[in-house]
Structure 1
Amino acid sequence: MPPRRLTRRSATSSFLPSLNATYNFNDRSLLRLAASQTVNRPEFREIANYSYYDFTNNANIKGNNKLRTAKIYNADLRYEFYPSKSELLSVGVFYKHFTGAIEQVTNSTNGSTLDLGFLNAASAYDVGVEVEARKGLVELTENPFLQHISFVLNASFIKSRVSLASGDDTSVDNNRPLQGQSPYVVNTGIFYQDDDRRWQVSAQYNVIGPRILFASSNKQNFSLFELPRHVIDLAVTKGFGPHLDVRVGIQDLLNQYTRQYYDSDRSGGISSADRGAFGRFRRGQYSTAGLTYKF
């Protein structure tokens, strides 16, 4: 069998302007404005015109040598307030417009196999709000233990929509979110740090909203959603003497199920009417223990 000939892609140049401006109201608060144009170029596996098997999802994946570079127009407005050197309260709004957004899609036309590929959407957008906060208790209490505790929060709430080309066979799913984009992301944590006694303890929590794992590419298949799962990570570090640190940790303490469902009613989300389960499995906990010796 003769070797497969790869299609040579012509070189492209991109103009990527950006603007960053800051206005300081005083020493503790400021306003940031940012605007930029960026690109998302296809990866080799996305444009390579051959099939390979994905053992994680039990799927056949084939690249698309007609993929175009996606253009992204970004705008961000953010207010930041610093009550102290170690504390922060930030609220921002952002908008992203995609031209030719690259999405991973399912090309399957029957239930026996899962065939995946890549396509350019005509356009898409993200619009959302982001809140970030860091707060310590040192100024709120005289208790020596509580003074070493601090909290961190980062949360984003996003709305995204995709517009497909007028000639696409996917018009039935033309009012869905962008593939891979969650409507919300929440990260929070509580931290205890005592430098004198060399204790560091942390508990962190993460959850992301339901997102499209693979988007529908024709009227014979459905978009595949991944549902939220709650993740908690714990870590403890204790120092002994001037050189030795002992650290133990547990990642994904809850070990909840990863749940994947087909959007069988094409509603742009998963409801009680969607009964087409694709996958349900646990990723497993990950525990670590280690010693660090500093010379």
Structure 2
Amino acid sequence: MTLTATTAAAAAGVGLAPTSGHAASITDIEKQVSALNAQAEQATNVYDGAMEQLANLQKQVDNLQGEAATMQQSMNQVMATLGPLAAASYRAGSVDPTLELMLQSHPDQFLQQAATMSQLGQAEAMNLKTLKLEQAQLASIKKQAADRLAQLQQAEHQAADMKAQIVDKFQQAQSLLSQLTYTQLASFDYSGVSAAEIAAVPPATGRAAIAIAFAKSKLGTWYLWGGTGPQYDCSGLVQAAWAAAGVSLPRTTYEQVNVGYAVPAILGDLEPGDVIFYNGDEHEALYIGGGLVIHAPTTGMQVQYGHWNMMSISGIQRMT
């Protein structure tokens, strides 16, 4: 996650008026803004994880509710087959002594005494036992659904908290940047990627070519924390790029860094499509060849090119 000259335009876009700054304070402001961006990136990864958990939990809740509905329908059908005595006993929540005997762990004992319980037929007895079993299963399903809903609410709260933290860090960073002139903001441009460097990137092949083509198509798109399309955060962009090539990656940098296999942080060993992780796996970029990457930097910036070693590298993974 870096600052570039586009930050000046972003600052203007949010109504920040550039003011005269002091050269001696630029370094301090740079460090503070970089720290705030790093904290925002960390919060974004947690936010992405929470949103992924939300989606998974919602699917589980939907499935459990579907199972509950199916089970209730089955119970209703069994109820319709019961005789008046069995149905009344079930609705009342009590079981006639004859039915109690029938529901014990050894139903064959009841069958041996069937002569004394002529008021109930064998088929009705089995239906009632089925009903009781389904009732217990339904209660279990409803409990699971309630537990998942509680987890869902917790994940929602976590996502909301992370969102507030991200916005706060961004606002603090913009407040610091507003103290600088446009010229000073331009001095924050660490990318330094020239048109000649971009033109010199050799063409990729295979799936990597598809992933890189997707990433290139998003150049100039504004960063969106938590974004998985049409706007992206850093991990969302890499995930979507490789998805276009038919490779499924998990959502966050913390998860993606464990996919594929490790590659040495040596330029000569890199291949197009490798994913480079930075700053303790808080940020990532897609290597396109020629010493360049494409990445979604941070809030207020656009998807752009960068040098492969633009930040402290914490790991490189080859996905195919």
- Normalised TM-score (structure 1): 0.20
Higher strand share: 1
- The structure, 1 or 2, with the larger RCO (C-alpha pairs under 8 Å, 6+ apart) is 2
Higher helix share: 2
User: If you compute each CA radius of gyration, which structure gives the higher value, 1 or 2?
Assistant: 2
